[in-house]
C-alpha cells in the first residue's frame, strides 16, 4: 500500500537504481522512461543506424541495470555510469560485427525530407539537406570509435566535457582534442555543402 | 562556435583562434556543426515496445530472486544510522560510571562520612589486625553522623562484587605466608564502643567496616564500618 503511494517521479536516478535491483516495477518504469529514448538514439547513431541492433543493445543495457545495478556506486552520477556501460556494449558490438563501409544507398532511403529552419541558409532545398544528412552520417561512420563517441555524446546527447571525460575515462583535454579532430574531419568531408560550393553547383546546373 | 560566426567573434576570441583556424575553415566547421546538431534534433528514432515487455519479465525474475534471499542477511546488512549505536554505548557508559542518586556505593558513602566526622583516629593493632580506631579526645561534636541506613549498608554494588572477586583471586594465587591474608580477629563490640565519640550505638557495630587501606586480613562474610 505504501509502495503505491510513493511518487517515484521525485526520486533521483541514484535512488531508483537500488529499488530496480530489488524488482520494484514502478521504480523501473520511471527510470526506463527517463533513459529509453536517449540510450536508443545513442545506440542508433553508434551502430550505423541499425534499428534492430539498437533495440537489442538497449535491452542488454537495461538488463545489466536490473541484474548488476547493485554494483553501481550511488556516489557517482547514474547517467555517466549508464553511458559508460553503453559505450562498452558498443565496443563489444564493433568487435563482433563486421562494420559496413558502403552505406550510401541505405542512408539515402532512410533519410527523411528536411524541414524549413535556419539551415535553409546553408542548404537551400530539401534534397540538398537530405543528401547532406546522408553524407554526414557516412562521415561519422568513417571516424574512429573514440572520436565518433565523443562527437555524439557532445552534440547529440549534450553531455558536458567533464561528463564525457568520466564516461570515456580520459582527461578533459583529451576529450577536447578528440572533438576538435572529429569536427575537422567532418568539415573536410562535407566541403561540398558549403554555401560557396553550393552556389558554384547551382551555377553549373543552370549553365548545364 | 555554435552561436557566433567568425565575423561576430571578439578581438580576444579571434586572437585565440589565430593560427588554428582560418576564417574560411572556422565558418566551414561551424556550418558542419550546425548541420549535425540540426540532424540530431530532427532524426528521433523510437525504441520498440517489445524491449520494455522483455525487460519487465527480467524484472519479475529478479524480484523473485531477491525475495528468496535469506531474510537474516537482509537484517544484518540493514543500514543503521551511526548515531543509534553511539547513543546505546553512551547510555551503557553513563549507567555504569556516572553516580546516580541512591546507587552510590559504600566506599564513596564512607568517604563522605569520614569527611564529616569530628573524630580523630589513630592506628592500632589487634593481633594481626591493624585498624584505625577513633580516639576519645574530642569532646565537642559539631556533627552527629548517624548510622548509615540499612539499605545502603546492605546494598551490594557491582564495584563491591568486583572488589571481592579481585580479592578472592589474589588470595588464591598469593603465598600462604603473605601477612595480608592472615585470618582476621573478630573485633569485639566494646573495642569500638569505648572509642566512640559520635554517639553511634553498639548495635550498629555490625555495620562498621575497616578501611581497606589498613586491613591486614580479609573477613569473608561481613563488612565493618569505621566512620562517624
DSSP for chain A, please give it.
Answer: -HHHH--GGGS-HHHHHHHHHTT-HHHHHHHHHHHHHHHHHHHHHHTTT-HHHHHHHHHHHHHHHHHHGGGS-TTS-HHHHHHHHHHHHHHHHHHHSPPP---HHHHHHHPPPP-SSGGGGTS-SHHHHHHHHHHHHHHHHHS-HHHHHHHHHHHTS---HHHHHHHHTS-HHHHHHHHHHHHHHHHHHTGGGSHHHHHHHHHHHHH-
**Is A193 in Cβ contact with B31 (below 8 Å)?**
yes
- Write down the pLDDT at residue A107: 45
Can you tell me the distance from the alpha carbon of B168 to that of B220, in angstroms, rounded to the nearest whole number? 9
Contact pairs from chain A to chain B, CB under 8 Å: 112
The reply to whether residue A151 touches residue B28, judged by beta carbons under 8 angstroms, is no
Residue among A55, A115, A184 whose CB faces B47 most closely: A55
Q: Which of A118-122, A155-159, B106-110 has the highest mean pLDDT?
A: A155-159
In chain A, residues with a C-beta closer than 8 Å to the C-beta of B48 are 55
Q: What is the pTM of this model?
A: 0.53
Closest partner residue to A62 (CB to CB) among B45, B46, B55 is B55
- Please indicate whether, in this complex, the C-beta atoms of A23 and B64 are within 8 angstroms of each other: yes
**Which of the pair, A31 or B75, is modelled with greater confidence?**
A31
**B-chain residue closest to A136, CA distance:** B36
Out of A51, A67, A115, name the one closest to residue B62 (CB): A67
Taking CB atoms and an 8 Å limit, are A186 and B32 in contact across chains? yes
Q: Which residues contact A169 (CB under 8 A, 6 or more apart)?
A: A84
Q: What is the per-residue pLDDT for A137?
A: 82
Q: Which of residues 116-135 of A touch B (CB under 8 A)?
A: 117-119, 122-123, 132-133
Beta strands B129-135 and B120-126 are: antiparallel
For residues B149 and B106, the answer to whether their CB atoms sit within 8 Å is: no
Identify which of A49, A132, A191 has the shortest CB distance to residue B28.
A191
- In chain B, whose CA is at the least distance from the CA of A181? B29
Alpha-carbon gap: B8 to the closest alpha carbon of chain A (Å): 17
Is residue A46 scored above 80 in pLDDT?
yes
Cell numbers found for residue B222: 561481613
- The confidence score (pLDDT) of residue B129 equals 59
For chain A, give the mean pLDDT.
79
CA distance B17 to A36: 39
Q: Is the pLDDT of residue A55 over 90?
A: yes
Q: How far is B58 from chain A (nearest CA, A)?
A: 7
Q: Give chain A positions within 8 Å (CB) of B19.
A: none
Put simply, the answer to whether B34 touches A36 (Cβ < 8 Å) is no
Say yes or no: A32 contacts chain B, CB-CB below 8 A: yes
Q: How many secondary structure helices (H) and strands (E) does chain B include?
A: 9, 2
Residue B2 confidence (pLDDT): 63
Contact call for A63 and B45, based on CB within 8 A? no
pLDDT at A195: 52
C-alpha cell at B50: 517489445
Q: What integer pLDDT is reported at residue A128 of this predicted model?
A: 64
Residues of chain B in contact with residue A115, where contact means CB-CB under 8 angstroms, are 42
Q: Per-residue DSSP letters for A75-100?
A: TS-HHHHHHHHHHHHHHHHHHHSPPP
ipTM above 0.90, yes or no: no
Per the CB < 8 A criterion, the answer to whether A133 and A45 are in contact is no
Average pLDDT over residues A29-40: 94
C-beta atoms of A40 and B62 within 8 A: no
Q: Do B66 and A23 count as a contact with CB atoms less than 8 A apart?
A: yes
Q: Do residue B35 and residue A122 have CB atoms under 8 angstroms apart?
A: yes
Q: Does A191 score more than 90 pLDDT?
A: no
Between residues A2 and A81, which one has the greater pLDDT?
Answer: A81
Contact A138/A190 with Cβ under 8 angstroms? Answer: no
pLDDT tens by residue, chain B, 228 residues: 567 777 888 888 888 777 777 788 888 788 888 888 888 887 778 899 999 999 999 999 888 877 766 566 667 767 778 888 899 999 998 888 777 655 444 444 444 444 445 556 666 665 555 666 666 554 444 455 555 555 555 556 777 778 887 887 777 665 555 555 444 444 445 544 455 555 444 444 444 444 444 444 444 444 444 433
Give residue A178's pLDDT band: very low, low, confident or very high (50, 70, 90). Answer: very high
| In the predicted structure, residue A95 carries a pLDDT above the cut 80 | yes
- Is the Cβ pair A193, B35 closer than 8 Å? yes
The answer to whether the Cβ–Cβ distance between A112 and B48 falls below 8 Å is no
Residue A28 reports pLDDT greater than 80: yes
Contact (CB<8Å) B51/A184? no
Amino acid at each position: 500500500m505504501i509502495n503505491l503511494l510513493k511518487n517515484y517521479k521525485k526520486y533521483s536516478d541514484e535512488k531508483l537504481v537500488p529499488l530496480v535491483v530489488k524488482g520494484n516495477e514502478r521504480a523501473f518504469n520511471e527510470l526506463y522512461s527517463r533513459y529509453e529514448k536517449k540510450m536508443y538514439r545513442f545506440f542508433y547513431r553508434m551502430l550505423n543506424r541499425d534499428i534492430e541492433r539498437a533495440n537489442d543493445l538497449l535491452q542488454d543495457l537495461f538488463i545489466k541495470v536490473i541484474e548488476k545495478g547493485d554494483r553501481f556506486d550511488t556516489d557517482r552520477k547514474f547517467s555517466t555510469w549508464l553511458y559508460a556501460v553503453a559505450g562498452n556494449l558498443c565496443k563489444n558490438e564493433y568487435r563482433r560485427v563486421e562494420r559496413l563501409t558502403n552505406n550510401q544507398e541505405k542512408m539515402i532511403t532512410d533519410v527523411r525530407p528536411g524541414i524549413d529552419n535556419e539551415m535553409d541558409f546553408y542548404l537551400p532545398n530539401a534534397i540538398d539537406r537530405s543528401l547532406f544528412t546522408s553524407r554526414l552520417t557516412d562521415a561519422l561512420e568513417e571516424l574512429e570509435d573514440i572520436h565518433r563517441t565523443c562527437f555524439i555524446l557532445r552534440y547529440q546527447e549534450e553531455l558536458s566535457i567533464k561528463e564525457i571525460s568520466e564516461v570515456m575515462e580520459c582527461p578533459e583535454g583529451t576529450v577536447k582534442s578528440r572533438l576538435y579532430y572529429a569536427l575537422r574531419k567532418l568539415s573536410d568531408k562535407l566541403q561540398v555543402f558549403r554555401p560557396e560550393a553550393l552556389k558554384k553547383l547551382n551555377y553549373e546546373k543552370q549553365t548545364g | 562556435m555554435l552561436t557566433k560566426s567568425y565575423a561576430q567573434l571578439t578581438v580576444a576570441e579571434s586572437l585565440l583562434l589565430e593560427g588554428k583556424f582560418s576564417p574560411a575553415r572556422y565558418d566551414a566547421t561551424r556550418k558542419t556543426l550546425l548541420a549535425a546538431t540540426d540532424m540530431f534534433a530532427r532524426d528521433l528514432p523510437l525504441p520498440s515496445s517489445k524491449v520494455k515487455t522483455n525487460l519487465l519479465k527480467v524484472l519479475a525474475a529478479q524480484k523473485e530472486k531477491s525475495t528468496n534471499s535469506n531474510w537474516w542477511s537482509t537484517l544484518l546488512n540493514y543500514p543503521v544510522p551511526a548515531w543509534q549505536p553511539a547513543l546505546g554505548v553512551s547510555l551503557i557508559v553513563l549507567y555504569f560510571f556516572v553516580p546516580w542518586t541512591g546507587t552510590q556505593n559504600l566506599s564513596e558513602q564512607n568517604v563522605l562520612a569520614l569527611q564529616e566526622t569530628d573524630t580523630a583516629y589513630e592506628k592500632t593493632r589487634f593481633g594481626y589486625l591493624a585498624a584505625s580506631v577513633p580516639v576519645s579526645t574530642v569532646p565537642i561534636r559539631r556533627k552527629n553522623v548517624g548510622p548509615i541506613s540499612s539499605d545502603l549498608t546492605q546494598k551490594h554494588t557491582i564495584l563491591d562484587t568486583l572488589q571481592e572477586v579481585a580479592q578472592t583471586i589474589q588470595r588464591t594465587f598469593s603465598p600462604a605466608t603473605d601477612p595480608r591474608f592472615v585470618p582476621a580477629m573478630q573485633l569485639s563490640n566494646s573495642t569500638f564502643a569505648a572509642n566512640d565519640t559520635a554517639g553511634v550505638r553498639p548495635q550498629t557495630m555490625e555495620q562498621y567496616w575497616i578501611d581497606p587501606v589498613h586491613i591486614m586480613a580479609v573477613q569473608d562474610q561481613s563488612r565493618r564500618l569505621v566512620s562517624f
